[in-house]
């Protein structure tokens, strides 16, 4: 190879003699290395195949590019057609259930599947939801005479809701002062009185007239005087006879096993105990914490008691009108009937809703009376209800049940609203119920599984309004009953069996909205001083400036700055009771010693003055100067029924209890569980 000979397109003559000190031998060495590596000094890529003497394949082929594109498009179309045919012409996964051809696993296969790991088994509670019509023969005084007629009543017996759905999403905010205003006696209205429940059942309407008995026509004697005297003689003789011979009266026989009350009682072999009931003992249910990071899903199992429209059942179980419409549209081709037959079953899966405490239905499944799955509708991620596969098979029972998410139980206040709206109670009636119990119960605490409510109402009038006659609320296994009764002055109120109203003369949470309970009464580690000391009140957190109300009628004892308590107001009430309010941002105008205040009157505003870690109300109740727990102390009633009404009131209690215990009730159209 010479210096003038070109090497594969590289002309050495093009190089200068000296390039940065590189001599000719070095140049040839570099050129040789480039040639050995395949470097070629060729013309640029071009669409013109005739450019140059030898294009050497460097041009771009338009025909080749077009062929590659057409090949890709054809492949995509062929694959799409293959998928379309494989799904038998269905273009989406949310098509009718029959088209999916999903084989259902057998019970044995399901049992063999590995169970998922969970922190604990969710509790499942039996639920009850009965809305019934019960009739009784009522005796009324009309124009000096008596009339007996059939009177229907509405009776509700239900467990309180353990999940909050859309039924209670728009309820009024909890406000103890507003509840106080609602719990006022009813004046100026005619009372719906149950004058008398007739002992015998009558058909239709019967009018009873009284007439004087004529002494000229005495009734025929059923027995003779001799037989009557003989019966009296035998009764007296056999009353004191020894042994069993001739015993005629039901006197208790001797029994050596009977013991005095309070003595030892034999429970079993070698086991003895004391009879009687322990007093001053509070039974507190075991605290169960919610599952950490749990999904908060619950499942409700319902048995249809009477042929009912599907839309009515869904509406009573937390489905909005939009949800019911969407589900009905989805079921149109698979389950065209809009009625569920007797003994069929409904499974509803609820789950949390983003940014809300309300649970929404995730899935609803329908089963026939033979427990065979009919159809399932499920909620997709984009908020649409579509046909889905059946959930895992379960064994149905005659009783309704609900799986409970302990960490997401609603408050007692919301649970009563949820249950009331489910049974078509008017909001005015529900508000009356919660207001009557607001002074005896902490309505902000969570409802417990098994809590229940019983309600008796009159039949609807021409406007559809129903009068509330009785409420029985069972919370923590304690039943609290209230009966409607009207006194001679025309004032109607609700009284417990002892003749006392459900209203207390002191409020337990005297600030707007009730506040959030941050610290209870009792010994604790002080958040500032880090020492163990008695916390003599309760702390209710709220925003700065929230109005604080007087817990009851009283007189201002102090209204000033008190070291540690900040701005402080102390009131004295009747019978040795007192209340105190601390850490206020401002004391209301006019609050000075000796000023009389009324229950519900604004006395100050929430703040964080004194030894405080944030805005809250420190509230104390004192009895004879000693602090007590404001949330649990037994407070005196505001009103007691006068003794002259005792017999009438006892008769009313007996009549209502008879109606609540009757078994001949007609079931109303409702088939759901709480």
| Residue 279 pLDDT greater than 50, yes or no | no
Predicted structure pTM score: 0.59
Q: How high is the pLDDT of residue 359?
A: 86
- Asked if residues 470 and 656 have their Cβ atoms less than 8 Å apart, the reply is yes
| Residue 181 pLDDT greater than 90, yes or no | no
- pLDDT of 16-36, one tens digit each? 555 555 577 777 777 777 777
| Residue 319 pLDDT greater than 80, yes or no | yes
- Asked if residues 141 and 394 have their Cβ atoms less than 8 Å apart, the reply is no
* pLDDT confidence tier of residue 100, bands split at 50, 70 and 90: very low
Q: What would the mean pLDDT of 490-504 be, rounded to a whole number?
A: 84
Highest average pLDDT, of 148-152, 205-209, 212-216, 463-467, comes from 463-467
| Residue 249 pLDDT greater than 50, yes or no | no
Buried b (16+ CB within 10 A) or exposed e, 475-503: beeeebbbbbbbbeeebbbbbbeebbbbb
Q: How high is the pLDDT of residue 336?
A: 83
Burial of 131 (0-12, 13-18, 19+ CB in 10 A): buried
Question: Mean pLDDT lowest for which of 148-162, 532-546, 589-603?
Answer: 148-162
Q: What would the mean pLDDT of 591-614 be, rounded to a whole number?
A: 92
| Residue 120 pLDDT greater than 60, yes or no | no
| Residue 497 pLDDT greater than 80, yes or no | yes
Q: Which DSSP letter does residue 50 get?
A: T
| Residue 544 pLDDT greater than 60, yes or no | yes
Q: What would the mean pLDDT of 188-205 be, rounded to a whole number?
A: 59
CA 425, CA 456: separation in Å to the nearest integer? 11
Show the domains of the chain with their CATH numbers: 127-196+410-495 (3.10.450), 298-408 (3.10.450.350), 516-628 (2.70.70.10)
Mean pLDDT of the chain: 76
Tokens of 644: 């002259």
Q: Which carries the bigger pLDDT value, residue 547 or residue 20?
A: 547
- pLDDT of 554-572, one tens digit each? 999 999 999 889 999 999 9
Q: What would the mean pLDDT of 224-250 be, rounded to a whole number?
A: 65
* pLDDT confidence tier of residue 273, bands split at 50, 70 and 90: very low
| Residue 14 pLDDT greater than 60, yes or no | no
Q: What would the mean pLDDT of 419-442 be, rounded to a whole number?
A: 87
| Residue 13 pLDDT greater than 90, yes or no | no
* pLDDT confidence tier of residue 175, bands split at 50, 70 and 90: confident
- Asked if residues 365 and 173 have their Cβ atoms less than 8 Å apart, the reply is no
CA 410, CA 419: separation in Å to the nearest integer? 11
- pLDDT of 394-427, one tens digit each? 888 878 888 887 778 889 999 999 999 998 899 9
Q: What would the mean pLDDT of 267-290 be, rounded to a whole number?
A: 43
Q: How high is the pLDDT of residue 269?
A: 45
Tally of CB atoms within 10 A around 127: 24
CA 468, CA 494: separation in Å to the nearest integer? 10
Q: What would the mean pLDDT of 285-308 be, rounded to a whole number?
A: 65
| Residue 247 pLDDT greater than 90, yes or no | no
| Residue 506 pLDDT greater than 50, yes or no | yes
CA 136, CA 537: separation in Å to the nearest integer? 50
| Residue 101 pLDDT greater than 70, yes or no | no
């Amino acid at each position: 190879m010479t210096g003038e000979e070109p090497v594969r397109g590289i002309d050495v003559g093009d190089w200068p003699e000296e390039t940065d000190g590189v001599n000719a031998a070095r140049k040839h060495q570099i050129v040789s290395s480039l040639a050995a590596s395949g470097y070629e000094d060729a013309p640029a890529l071009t669409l013109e195949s005739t450019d140059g003497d030898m294009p050497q394949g460097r041009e771009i082929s338009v025909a080749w590019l077009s062929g590659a594109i057409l090949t890709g498009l054809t492949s995509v179309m062929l694959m799409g057609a293959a998928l379309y045919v494989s799904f038998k012409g269905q273009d989406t996964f949310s098509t009718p259930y029959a088209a999916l051809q999903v084989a259902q696993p057998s019970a044995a296969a399901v049992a063999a599947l590995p169970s998922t790991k969970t922190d604990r088994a969710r509790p499942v509670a039996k639920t009850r939801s009965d809305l019934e019509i019960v009739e009784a023969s009522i005796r009324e005084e009309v124009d000096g005479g008596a009339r007996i007629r059939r009177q229907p009543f509405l009776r509700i017996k239900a467990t309180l809701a353990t999940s909050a759905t859309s039924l209670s999403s728009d309820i009024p905010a909890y406000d103890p002062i507003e509840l106080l205003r609602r719990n006022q006696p009813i004046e100026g209205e005619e009372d719906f009185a149950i004058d008398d429940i007739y002992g015998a059942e009558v058909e239709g309407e019967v009018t009873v007239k009284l007439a004087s008995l004529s002494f000229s026509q005495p009734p025929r004697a059923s027995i003779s005087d001799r037989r009557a005297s003989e019966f009296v003689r035998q009764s007296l003789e056999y009353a004191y006879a020894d042994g069993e011979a001739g015993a005629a009266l039901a006197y208790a026989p001797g029994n050596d096993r009977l013991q005095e009350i309070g003595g030892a009682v034999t429970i079993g072999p070698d086991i003895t105990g004391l009879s009687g009931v322990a007093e001053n003992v509070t039974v507190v249910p075991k605290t169960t914490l919610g599952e950490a990071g749990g999904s908060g899903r619950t499942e409700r199992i319902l048995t249809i008691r009477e042929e009912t429209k599907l839309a009515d059942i869904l509406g009573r179980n937390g489905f909005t009108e939009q949800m019911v419409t969407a589900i009905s549209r989805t079921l149109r081709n698979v389950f065209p009937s809009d009625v569920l037959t007797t003994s069929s079953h409904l499974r509803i899966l609820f789950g949390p809703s983003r940014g809300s405490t309300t649970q929404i239905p995730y899935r609803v499944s329908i089963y026939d009376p033979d427990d065979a799955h009919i159809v399932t509708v499920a909620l997709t991620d984009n908020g649409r209800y579509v046909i889905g596969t059946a959930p895992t098979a379960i064994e149905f029972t005659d009783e309704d049940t609900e799986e409970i998410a302990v960490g997401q139980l609603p408050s007692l206040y919301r649970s009563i609203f949820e249950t009331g709206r489910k049974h078509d109670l008017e909001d005015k009636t529900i508000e009356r119920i919660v207001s009557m119990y607001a002074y005896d119960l902490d309505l902000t605490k969570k409802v417990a599984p098994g809590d229940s409510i019983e309600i008796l109402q009159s039949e609807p009038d021409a406007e559809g309004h129903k009068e509330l006659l009785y409420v029985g609320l069972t919370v923590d296994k304690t039943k609290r009953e209230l009966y409607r009764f009207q006194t001679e002055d025309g004032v109607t109120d609700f009284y417990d069996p002892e003749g006392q109203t459900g209203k207390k003369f002191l409020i337990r949470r005297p600030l707007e909205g009730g506040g959030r309970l941050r610290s209870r009464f009792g010994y604790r580690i002080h958040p500032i001083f880090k020492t163990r000391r008695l916390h003599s009140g309760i702390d209710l957190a709220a925003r700065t400036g929230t109005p604080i109300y007087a817990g009851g009628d009283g007189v201002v004892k102090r209204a000033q700055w008190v070291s540690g308590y900040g701005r402080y107001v102390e009131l004295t009430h009747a019978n040795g009771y007192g209340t105190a309010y601390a850490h206020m941002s401002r004391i209301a105008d006019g609050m000075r010693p000796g000023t009389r205040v009324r229950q519900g009157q604004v006395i100050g505003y929430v703040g964080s003055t004194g030894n405080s870690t944030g805005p809250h109300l420190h509230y104390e109740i004192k009895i004879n100067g000693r602090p007590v727990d404001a949330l649990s102390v037994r407070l005196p009633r505001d009103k007691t029924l006068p003794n002259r009404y005792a017999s009438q009131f006892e008769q009313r209690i007996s009549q209502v209890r008879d109606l609540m215990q009757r078994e001949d009730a007609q079931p109303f159209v409702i088939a759901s569980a709480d």
